[in-house]
Amino acid sequence: MSRRSEAGVVIAGGGLAAQRCAETLRKRGFEAPVRIVCAEDEAPYDRPPLSKDVAAGTADGEAVRFRDADWYADNAVELILGRRAAGLDPDARELFLDDDTRLGWDELLIATGAAPRELPMLSGFANAFPLRTLADAGRLRAALAGGSHLVIVGAGFIGQEVAATARRQGVEVTIVEALDVPLAGILGERVGRWIVDLHRDEGVRVLTGAMLESAAGNGRVEELTLAGGEKLECDAVVVGVGVAPAAAWVAGSGLDPAGIATDYAGRTGLPHVYAAGDVSRPFDPRLFDHVRTEHWDAASRQGVAAGAAMLGETPRPPALPSFWSDQYGLRIQYVGHAEGADEIRVCGEPGERDFHVLYQCAGTPVAALTVDRPRELAAMRRLIESSYEGDAVATETYETPTNAPEEAMP
Ligand SMILES: Cc1cc2nc3c(=O)[nH]c(=O)nc-3n(C[C@H](O)[C@H](O)[C@H](O)COP(=O)(O)OP(=O)(O)OC[C@H]3O[C@@H](n4cnc5c(N)ncnc54)[C@H](O)[C@@H]3O)c2cc1C
């Protein structure tokens, strides 16, 4: 269903969730203006290839764009690039930009994603950077092409993928991880140890339970010192210590800058304001809570759901969250909620890099991880979904009758 309007939809943020929302609106016949405001100078692009093909030099910025320039022109989606959303007035239905422009909206989507957490001791060094944007990927590519010693701080999935890509380029890699077993709290100790072994087998030096104490160099980090005194020489440092919602700019609007709570249609507590993707905390009907995910699948689905909800549709409850990671030619996939699992069953040969892990809680499957078994994921998903069948799946929808379409397009 479409509606007639002057102001139309404004989307703050120009990544995956933003793109999916704009596509959904146009596909379903919405004819009013759609404007995407993005802090980056780039038209919307896909991030997963940044740590894989773009870092390896087998894909460039053009290859990762969701759509070419003609698509935006043909679909009348206006891109306002290089501009930041700086605030909003929900009563006046205005978005403030960093150049003092004000954009009026009928419906607003907040899709500003997440920003990498910083390590203050490394800020200011030209060769220490996170990996979130195409510009970051360009710096990483240059560092890898130089063949060098790369230090990665943090053994999360981004750090792991960078390590895998760098090793394939013949770069010497050290990972510095503060935890004794990376990702143990999410995936369990056994899987965390397997991840460490995988990288060590590929020639990565993985230092666990290791804390950075200081960084030295003249404009560029040349040497890192760990607590305990060990020194690491380096040519570049990738900081992969997690991300936080890029939502400081909503402070004072009534929304939470620590992650914007929504129902599963993306509606926030403010009429006409939606949020989707890494910036949001949608209500998860299985966990009875608002939960933030930082994965492609969720951002894509949430962007579509928000677009549909703007048109008055009620999306179905969300699928189980899932993600994938590609390392050393292996595809690692995960589905469900392993938090709170009290039993972990491993099936297959972890040493052969061919296995799956089923996470159970009180005998009920709640999550699964597969390694190099892409065909198993759908069956795992069905198994876990079926364990929720018969349970009342909780729903939470905000009372937002003013979001209903005011007028159908002729
Ligand atoms: C290197 C990398 C590899 C990844 N690999 C995988 C993977 O293999 N599998 C997987 O499931 N997930 C992966 N992800 C995660 C996935 O890409 C993200 O979950 C997804 O991009 C989130 O989409 P989003 O639209 O919410 O945010 P983003 O894609 O981050 O887009 C948000 C956009 O908003 C802009 N912005 C920020 N603040 C403002 C502001 N105030 N005003 C205007 N614009 C603003 C940002 O510059 C950005 O362009 C990866 C992420 C990265 C960074």
Mean pLDDT lowest among 31-45, 128-142, 254-268, 372-386: 372-386
CA nearest to 273, candidates 112, 61, 146, 153 = 112
pLDDT band per the 50, 70, 90 thresholds, residue 408: very low
Pairwise CA distance, residues 388 & 391, whole Å: 5
Distances (CA, A) of 212 to 79, 206, 224: 41, 14, 7
Count CA atoms closer than 13 A to 387's CA, side-chain side.
20
Q: Is the pLDDT of residue 392 over 50?
A: no
Cα 66 to middle of ligand 1, angstroms: 13
| pLDDT of 201 higher than 80 | yes
Rounded to the nearest angstrom, the gap between the alpha carbon of residue 324 and the centroid of all alpha carbons in its chain is 12
Confidence of residue 174 (pLDDT cuts 50, 70, 90): very high
Cβ-contact 34, 320 below 8 angstroms: no
Distances (CA, A) of 160 to 62, 71, 153, 181, 182: 25, 34, 10, 13, 10
Span of 110-119, 140-149, 175-184 with lowest mean pLDDT: 140-149
Determine if residue 203 is left, alpha or beta; phi over 0 gives left, psi from -120 to 50 gives alpha, anything else beta. Answer: left
Ligand 1 atom at minimum distance from 83 CA: 43
User: Can you tell me which atom of ligand 1 is nearest the CA of 322?
Assistant: 11
The protein residue with its alpha carbon nearest to ligand 1, atom 27, reads 113
Other C-beta atoms closer than 10 Å to the C-beta of 26 total 18
The protein residue with its alpha carbon nearest to ligand 1, atom 19, reads 295
* Alpha-carbon separation of residue 327 from 167, 182, 346, 372 (angstroms): 10, 16, 20, 10
Q: Which domains does the chain have, with CATH numbers?
A: 9-115+244-319 (3.50.50.60), 118-241 (3.50.50.60), 329-388 (3.30.390.30)
| Angle formed by the axes of helices 134-145 and 157-168, nearest 10° | 40
Q: At what angle do helices 189-201 and 157-168 cross, to 10 degrees?
A: 20
Q: Is the pLDDT of residue 3 over 60?
A: no
DSSP lists the bridge partners of residue 151 as: 174, 237
Decide if 273 contacts 257 (C-beta within 8 A). no
Is the pLDDT score of 223 beyond 60?
A: yes
Ligand 1 pocket, mutate which of 19, 35, 38 (most atoms under 8 A from CB): 38
pLDDT (tens digit, 9 = 90+) per residue, 232-288? 999 999 999 999 999 999 999 999 999 999 998 999 999 999 999 999 999 998 888
Count Cα neighbours of 330 within 13 Å in the Cβ-side half-sphere: 22
Confidence tier at 403 by pLDDT (50, 70, 90): very low
Q: Which amino acid is at 142?
A: A
Closest-CA residue, ligand 1 atom 15, reads 295
Q: Quick check: 61 and 226 in contact, CB under 8 A?
A: no
Mean predicted lDDT score pLDDT of the chain: 92
User: Model confidence at 145, in pLDDT bands (50, 70, 90)?
Assistant: confident
Least confident segment among 88-92, 207-211, 285-289: 285-289
234 lines ligand 1 (CB under 6 A): no
CA 42 to ligand 1 centroid distance, Å: 13
CA distance 15 to 294: 13
pLDDT of res. 5: 58
Hey, which of 278, 292, 328 would you mutate to test ligand 1's pocket, going by the most ligand atoms within 8 Å of its Cβ? 278
Q: Is the CB of 376 under 6 A from ligand 1?
A: no
Return the residue matching tokens 């249609």: 265
What is this structure's pTM?
0.94
Is residue 296 within 6 Å of ligand 1 at its C-beta? Answer: yes
Q: Name the residue among 11, 2, 73 with its Cα closest to residue 32.
A: 2
Q: Which atom of ligand 1 is nearest to the CA of 294?
A: 19
Q: Does any ligand 1 atom lie closer than 6 A to the CB of residue 40?
A: yes
Q: How confident is the model at residue 42 (pLDDT cuts 50, 70, 90)?
A: very high
Lowest mean pLDDT among 29-33, 41-45, 161-165, 315-319: 315-319
Write the secondary structure of 216-282 as one string of H (helix), E (strand) and C (coil).
ECCCCCCEEEECCCCEEECCEEEECCCEEECCHHHCCCCCCCCCEEECCCCECCCCCEEECHHHEEE
Report DSSP letters for 56-86, one per residue: HTSS-TGGGBSS-HHHHHHTTEEEEES--EE
Q: Answer for the pair 108, 273: CB distance below 8 angstroms, yes or no.
A: yes
Q: Residue 214 — pLDDT band, cuts 50, 70, 90? A: very high
**Do residues 282 and 118 touch, judged by C-beta distance below 8 A?**
no
**Which ligand 1 atom minimizes the distance to the CA of 302?**
26
CB 44 less than 6 A from any atom of ligand 1: no
Rounded distance, CA 66 to CA 36, Å?
A: 14
Distance 280 CA to ligand 1 centre (A): 12
